[in-house]
Homo-oligomer: A and B are copies of this chain.
Amino acid sequence: MHFTSEHRHDDGSLEREFILGDIPGILWTPASLAPLILLGHPGGLRAMYPRLASRARQSLAIGFAAATIELPGSGDRPRSPDAEQARADLRRALAAGEPVDEIVDRLVIPLVENAVPEWQSAIDALLSVPEVRGPIGYSGGPIAIGTRLAVVEPRIAAAVLFAGSFVPRSMFDEARQVTIPLHVLLQWDDEGNDRQLALDLFDAFGSEEKTLHANMGGHTGVPQFAGDDAARFFARHLR
């Protein structure tokens, strides 16, 4: 992992861009050694930067470090022709009101297969940074990546998952294997979201402690207090 830029903020926190192999990422660290929250997102670091930076500031404010990496096939990373085809097929099927299950499998299953080992490499590298320690939390979407990470990566101790659609049916079997504490956020009035599928997936998670917070405000309108609740969830489980 090579740091490619460094910016010290007024509050003493440090924001650094890095490259891990060919994967770009960003690390935010507070002034002292802190547990790490991984910020999941749908891909496209540059476009997502304002929202990621805001979520990172929320993590820093309660004493956590935060980090994110670009997803395979997104941002400046090489495109996958299969994924691009699946994305185009999905848009067309959604517009035509056709079933999308098979397309979602083609799009999301390879994404999970490729992204999860990259997140694990990122965890290896990030834990070697002097300001960062475990335990680690995962926060965000896609929920399929967060679910797989929760199953296969023992260094992740708790997860805040953003319920969204486009979950392969096979993910329900994995959800049953999740045992870490979960805090699931659902935008109740997100019209692009399959609410019943999100509720079914929440029901499937095997965790003894799982909480669903459903709020109004549309796809991107997660209320400030919902972010505060999620922050307190991490404070309970990562300290």
Contact = CB atoms under 8 A, between A and B. Distances in A.
Contacts of A202: 188, 214
Contacts of A211: 213-216, 223, 226
A236 interface: yes
Closest 5 A/B residue pairs (Cβ)? A212-B214, A211-B215, A213-B213, A229-B229, A210-B216
Nearest to A208: B216
Given A212-B212, A214-B212, A216-B209, A232 B225 contact: yes
Interface residues of A, number: 21
Contact of A213 (B212, B223, B228, B232): B212
Contacts of A225: 232-233, 236
Given A202-B214, A210-B215, A229-B229, 14 more contacts: A188-B203, A188-B212, A208-B216, A209-B216, A209-B223, A211-B213, A211-B214, A211-B215, A212-B212, A212-B214, A213-B213, A225-B232, A228-B232, A229-B232
Interface string A75-89: 000000000000000
Interface string A188-217: 100000000001001100001111111110
A110 to B, nearest CB: 32
Contacts of A208: 216
A70 B208 CA distance: 35
Nearest to A215: B211
Contacts of A215: 210-211
Contacts of A216: 208-211
A88 B225 CA distance: 43
A62 to B, nearest CB: 15
Contacts of A199: 199
A154 B211 CA distance: 32
A230 to B, nearest CB: 11
Interface string A85-124: 0000000000000000000000000000000000000000
